[in-house]
Amino acid sequence: MITALLAAALAGLASGVGALPFFVVRTIPRRLYDGILGIGAGLMLSAATLGLLGHALEGSLDAARVGMVVAGLLAGAALISVMERLVPHLHAAGHTHEHAEDHKHVRRGILLSGAMALHRLPEGFAIGAAFAAGDEATRGLGLLLATAVGFQNVCEGLVISAPLIHGGKTGAQTLLLVTLTGLPMPIMAAVGFFFSRQIGGALPFLLALAAGALITLTSTEIIPETHGHGSEAPATLGIIGGFGITIVLRATLGH
Protein backbone atom coordinates (compact mmCIF):
# COMPACT_ATOMS: atom_id res chain seq x y z
CA MET A 1 0.00 0.00 0.00
CA ILE A 2 2.91 2.36 0.70
CA THR A 3 4.04 2.01 -2.91
CA ALA A 4 0.55 2.85 -4.14
CA LEU A 5 0.35 5.93 -1.92
CA LEU A 6 3.81 7.11 -2.98
CA ALA A 7 3.04 6.61 -6.69
CA ALA A 8 -0.28 8.45 -6.35
CA ALA A 9 1.34 11.29 -4.39
CA LEU A 10 4.04 11.77 -7.02
CA ALA A 11 1.46 11.68 -9.82
CA GLY A 12 -0.59 14.29 -7.97
CA LEU A 13 2.35 16.56 -7.24
CA ALA A 14 3.26 16.42 -10.94
CA SER A 15 0.50 19.00 -11.45
CA GLY A 16 2.89 21.62 -10.11
CA VAL A 17 5.36 20.90 -12.89
CA GLY A 18 2.85 22.43 -15.31
CA ALA A 19 3.22 25.77 -13.53
CA LEU A 20 7.01 25.92 -13.87
CA PRO A 21 7.17 27.27 -17.46
CA PHE A 22 5.25 30.35 -16.32
CA PHE A 23 8.16 31.40 -14.15
CA VAL A 24 9.87 32.44 -17.41
CA VAL A 25 7.07 32.89 -19.99
CA ARG A 26 3.52 34.24 -19.95
CA THR A 27 2.05 31.96 -22.63
CA ILE A 28 2.99 28.92 -24.71
CA PRO A 29 2.25 28.34 -28.42
CA ARG A 30 -1.15 26.77 -29.03
CA ARG A 31 0.19 24.00 -31.29
CA LEU A 32 2.76 22.99 -28.69
CA TYR A 33 0.13 23.07 -25.96
CA ASP A 34 -2.29 20.89 -27.98
CA GLY A 35 0.45 18.44 -28.89
CA ILE A 36 1.52 18.00 -25.26
CA LEU A 37 -2.09 17.63 -24.15
CA GLY A 38 -2.60 15.05 -26.91
CA ILE A 39 0.27 12.96 -25.56
CA GLY A 40 -1.35 13.07 -22.12
CA ALA A 41 -4.69 11.99 -23.60
CA GLY A 42 -3.01 9.08 -25.39
CA LEU A 43 -1.30 8.00 -22.19
CA MET A 44 -4.58 8.10 -20.26
CA LEU A 45 -6.56 6.20 -22.89
CA SER A 46 -3.91 3.56 -23.38
CA ALA A 47 -3.43 3.07 -19.63
CA ALA A 48 -7.18 2.61 -19.27
CA THR A 49 -7.59 0.22 -22.22
CA LEU A 50 -4.31 -1.67 -22.51
CA GLY A 51 -3.77 -1.57 -18.74
CA LEU A 52 -6.87 -1.46 -16.55
CA LEU A 53 -9.36 -3.13 -18.90
CA GLY A 54 -6.75 -5.61 -20.10
CA HIS A 55 -6.08 -6.72 -16.53
CA ALA A 56 -9.78 -6.79 -15.67
CA LEU A 57 -10.37 -9.25 -18.53
CA GLU A 58 -7.48 -11.58 -17.62
CA GLY A 59 -8.39 -15.08 -16.50
CA SER A 60 -11.55 -17.03 -17.17
CA LEU A 61 -13.94 -14.92 -19.21
CA ASP A 62 -17.21 -16.36 -17.96
CA ALA A 63 -20.49 -14.46 -18.08
CA ALA A 64 -20.11 -13.18 -14.51
CA ARG A 65 -16.67 -11.64 -15.14
CA VAL A 66 -17.68 -10.07 -18.43
CA GLY A 67 -20.82 -8.69 -16.77
CA MET A 68 -18.76 -7.16 -13.96
CA VAL A 69 -16.37 -5.51 -16.41
CA VAL A 70 -19.15 -4.06 -18.55
CA ALA A 71 -21.03 -2.87 -15.45
CA GLY A 72 -17.87 -1.29 -14.05
CA LEU A 73 -17.13 0.46 -17.34
CA LEU A 74 -20.63 1.94 -17.42
CA ALA A 75 -20.47 2.90 -13.75
CA GLY A 76 -17.18 4.76 -14.32
CA ALA A 77 -18.68 6.67 -17.23
CA ALA A 78 -21.76 7.53 -15.13
CA LEU A 79 -19.54 8.74 -12.28
CA ILE A 80 -17.74 11.24 -14.50
CA SER A 81 -21.00 12.32 -16.11
CA VAL A 82 -22.34 13.24 -12.67
CA MET A 83 -19.12 15.07 -11.80
CA GLU A 84 -19.32 17.00 -15.07
CA ARG A 85 -22.63 18.46 -13.89
CA LEU A 86 -21.10 19.56 -10.60
CA VAL A 87 -17.85 21.17 -11.74
CA PRO A 88 -17.01 23.65 -14.53
CA HIS A 89 -15.76 22.34 -17.87
CA LEU A 90 -12.13 22.81 -18.80
CA HIS A 91 -12.51 23.47 -22.53
CA ALA A 92 -10.36 26.33 -23.78
CA ALA A 93 -9.39 27.13 -20.21
CA GLY A 94 -5.71 27.47 -20.97
CA HIS A 95 -6.21 30.40 -23.35
CA THR A 96 -8.46 33.13 -22.02
CA HIS A 97 -9.38 36.42 -23.72
CA GLU A 98 -6.53 38.84 -23.24
CA HIS A 99 -8.75 41.86 -22.57
CA ALA A 100 -10.82 40.30 -19.74
CA GLU A 101 -10.44 41.76 -16.27
CA ASP A 102 -7.73 40.27 -14.09
CA HIS A 103 -10.14 39.11 -11.40
CA LYS A 104 -12.04 37.06 -13.97
CA HIS A 105 -8.83 35.26 -14.89
CA VAL A 106 -8.08 34.55 -11.25
CA ARG A 107 -11.64 33.39 -10.58
CA ARG A 108 -11.47 31.05 -13.56
CA GLY A 109 -8.15 29.68 -12.37
CA ILE A 110 -9.51 29.02 -8.89
CA LEU A 111 -12.64 27.35 -10.29
CA LEU A 112 -10.45 25.19 -12.52
CA SER A 113 -8.28 24.28 -9.54
CA GLY A 114 -11.32 23.06 -7.63
CA ALA A 115 -12.60 21.18 -10.65
CA MET A 116 -9.20 19.59 -11.20
CA ALA A 117 -8.98 18.54 -7.55
CA LEU A 118 -12.29 16.69 -7.95
CA HIS A 119 -11.06 15.10 -11.18
CA ARG A 120 -8.13 13.70 -9.22
CA LEU A 121 -10.53 11.42 -7.29
CA PRO A 122 -11.10 8.75 -9.98
CA GLU A 123 -7.43 8.93 -10.99
CA GLY A 124 -6.25 8.26 -7.44
CA PHE A 125 -8.81 5.48 -7.04
CA ALA A 126 -7.59 3.87 -10.26
CA ILE A 127 -3.97 3.87 -9.09
CA GLY A 128 -4.90 2.32 -5.73
CA ALA A 129 -7.03 -0.36 -7.37
CA ALA A 130 -4.24 -1.17 -9.81
CA PHE A 131 -1.79 -1.81 -6.96
CA ALA A 132 -4.30 -3.74 -4.85
CA ALA A 133 -3.61 -7.35 -5.83
CA GLY A 134 0.01 -7.02 -4.77
CA ASP A 135 1.59 -9.22 -7.46
CA GLU A 136 4.20 -8.26 -10.03
CA ALA A 137 1.63 -7.77 -12.79
CA THR A 138 -0.49 -5.30 -10.86
CA ARG A 139 2.54 -3.42 -9.54
CA GLY A 140 3.59 -2.90 -13.15
CA LEU A 141 0.05 -1.81 -13.99
CA GLY A 142 0.03 0.59 -11.06
CA LEU A 143 3.33 2.17 -12.10
CA LEU A 144 2.15 2.40 -15.69
CA LEU A 145 -1.05 4.14 -14.66
CA ALA A 146 0.72 6.48 -12.21
CA THR A 147 3.15 7.48 -14.97
CA ALA A 148 0.31 8.17 -17.42
CA VAL A 149 -1.71 10.15 -14.88
CA GLY A 150 1.37 12.06 -13.73
CA PHE A 151 2.17 13.18 -17.28
CA GLN A 152 -1.44 14.19 -17.84
CA ASN A 153 -1.38 16.14 -14.58
CA VAL A 154 1.59 18.13 -15.88
CA CYS A 155 -0.50 19.08 -18.92
CA GLU A 156 -3.48 19.98 -16.74
CA GLY A 157 -1.18 22.08 -14.58
CA LEU A 158 -0.60 24.22 -17.66
CA VAL A 159 -4.38 24.57 -18.07
CA ILE A 160 -4.83 25.82 -14.51
CA SER A 161 -1.75 28.05 -14.44
CA ALA A 162 -2.46 30.17 -17.52
CA PRO A 163 -5.51 32.09 -16.20
CA LEU A 164 -3.88 32.54 -12.80
CA ILE A 165 -0.76 34.07 -14.37
CA HIS A 166 -2.88 36.24 -16.68
CA GLY A 167 -4.79 37.42 -13.62
CA GLY A 168 -1.64 38.68 -11.92
CA LYS A 169 -0.71 35.81 -9.64
CA THR A 170 3.03 35.29 -9.15
CA GLY A 171 4.78 32.14 -10.29
CA ALA A 172 5.17 30.99 -6.67
CA GLN A 173 1.49 31.55 -5.86
CA THR A 174 0.44 29.70 -8.98
CA LEU A 175 2.82 26.82 -8.28
CA LEU A 176 1.42 26.39 -4.76
CA LEU A 177 -2.23 26.46 -5.83
CA VAL A 178 -1.72 24.10 -8.76
CA THR A 179 0.31 21.64 -6.68
CA LEU A 180 -2.41 21.53 -4.02
CA THR A 181 -4.87 20.13 -6.58
CA GLY A 182 -2.95 16.84 -6.44
CA LEU A 183 -3.55 16.25 -2.72
CA PRO A 184 -6.73 14.15 -3.18
CA MET A 185 -4.86 11.54 -5.21
CA PRO A 186 -3.04 9.61 -2.43
CA ILE A 187 -6.22 9.74 -0.32
CA MET A 188 -8.29 8.16 -3.08
CA ALA A 189 -5.48 5.72 -3.85
CA ALA A 190 -5.82 4.45 -0.27
CA VAL A 191 -9.59 4.13 -0.77
CA GLY A 192 -9.15 2.25 -4.06
CA PHE A 193 -6.52 -0.02 -2.55
CA PHE A 194 -8.67 -0.78 0.52
CA PHE A 195 -11.85 -1.55 -1.42
CA SER A 196 -10.02 -3.73 -3.92
CA ARG A 197 -8.26 -5.67 -1.16
CA GLN A 198 -11.38 -6.10 0.97
CA ILE A 199 -13.62 -7.03 -1.95
CA GLY A 200 -11.14 -9.07 -3.99
CA GLY A 201 -13.83 -10.73 -6.09
CA ALA A 202 -14.96 -7.31 -7.26
CA LEU A 203 -11.51 -6.31 -8.58
CA PRO A 204 -12.53 -6.68 -12.27
CA PHE A 205 -15.48 -4.35 -11.60
CA LEU A 206 -13.32 -1.80 -9.78
CA LEU A 207 -10.62 -1.83 -12.46
CA ALA A 208 -13.27 -1.41 -15.17
CA LEU A 209 -14.90 1.39 -13.16
CA ALA A 210 -11.59 3.21 -12.99
CA ALA A 211 -11.06 2.63 -16.73
CA GLY A 212 -14.54 3.92 -17.58
CA ALA A 213 -13.92 7.04 -15.51
CA LEU A 214 -10.57 7.75 -17.17
CA ILE A 215 -11.86 7.12 -20.70
CA THR A 216 -14.87 9.37 -20.16
CA LEU A 217 -12.78 12.09 -18.55
CA THR A 218 -10.29 12.01 -21.42
CA SER A 219 -12.92 12.05 -24.17
CA THR A 220 -15.10 14.77 -22.65
CA GLU A 221 -12.48 17.13 -21.24
CA ILE A 222 -9.02 16.54 -22.66
CA ILE A 223 -9.47 15.61 -26.33
CA PRO A 224 -11.99 18.44 -27.04
CA GLU A 225 -9.45 20.91 -25.60
CA THR A 226 -6.87 19.77 -28.18
CA HIS A 227 -9.18 20.18 -31.21
CA GLY A 228 -10.95 23.15 -32.69
CA HIS A 229 -8.00 25.54 -32.66
CA GLY A 230 -6.32 24.50 -35.89
CA SER A 231 -3.90 22.16 -34.14
CA GLU A 232 -5.63 18.85 -34.81
CA ALA A 233 -2.57 17.29 -36.47
CA PRO A 234 -0.10 17.69 -33.56
CA ALA A 235 -2.86 16.75 -31.11
CA THR A 236 -3.66 13.53 -32.99
CA LEU A 237 0.02 12.67 -33.34
CA GLY A 238 0.33 13.28 -29.61
CA ILE A 239 -2.45 10.79 -28.87
CA ILE A 240 -0.76 8.16 -31.05
CA GLY A 241 2.55 8.99 -29.36
CA GLY A 242 0.93 8.47 -25.97
CA PHE A 243 -0.08 4.96 -26.96
CA GLY A 244 3.45 4.31 -28.19
CA ILE A 245 4.92 5.49 -24.89
CA THR A 246 2.54 3.19 -23.00
CA ILE A 247 3.62 0.20 -25.08
CA VAL A 248 7.29 0.96 -24.32
CA LEU A 249 6.49 1.42 -20.63
CA ARG A 250 4.62 -1.89 -20.52
CA ALA A 251 7.58 -3.67 -22.06
CA THR A 252 10.01 -1.91 -19.70
CA LEU A 253 7.93 -2.63 -16.60
CA GLY A 254 7.35 -6.22 -17.64
CA HIS A 255 3.58 -5.86 -17.64
Each residue's pLDDT expressed in tens, for the chain with a length of 255 residues: 788 899 999 999 998 998 898 888 877 787 887 888 788 788 878 888 888 888 888 877 788 889 999 999 999 899 888 877 776 555 544 444 444 445 655 665 665 566 567 667 777 888 888 887 555 555 677 888 888 888 878 877 876 787 677 677 888 888 998 898 888 899 989 988 888 777 767 778 888 888 888 888 788 877 887 887 778 899 899 999 989 988 887 777 655
Distance CA 204, CA 200 (A): 9
pLDDT at 89: 53
Q: Number of C-alpha atoms within 13 angstroms, CB side, residue 153?
A: 33
Q: Is 71 exposed, middle or buried (0-12, 13-18, 19+ CB in 10 A)?
A: middle
Cα-to-chain-centroid distance, residue 200 = 25
Which pTM does this prediction carry?
Answer: 0.68
Residue type (1 letter), 207: L
| CB-based contacts of 2, cutoff 8 Å, min separation 6 | none
pLDDT at 93: 45
pLDDT at 99: 42
pLDDT at 186: 92
pLDDT at 169: 80
pLDDT at 72: 92
Q: What percent of the chain stands above pLDDT 70?
A: 82
The CA-to-CA distance between both ends of the chain, in Å, stands at 19
Q: What percent of the chain stands above pLDDT 90?
A: 13
Q: What is the largest CA-CA distance in the chain?
A: 59
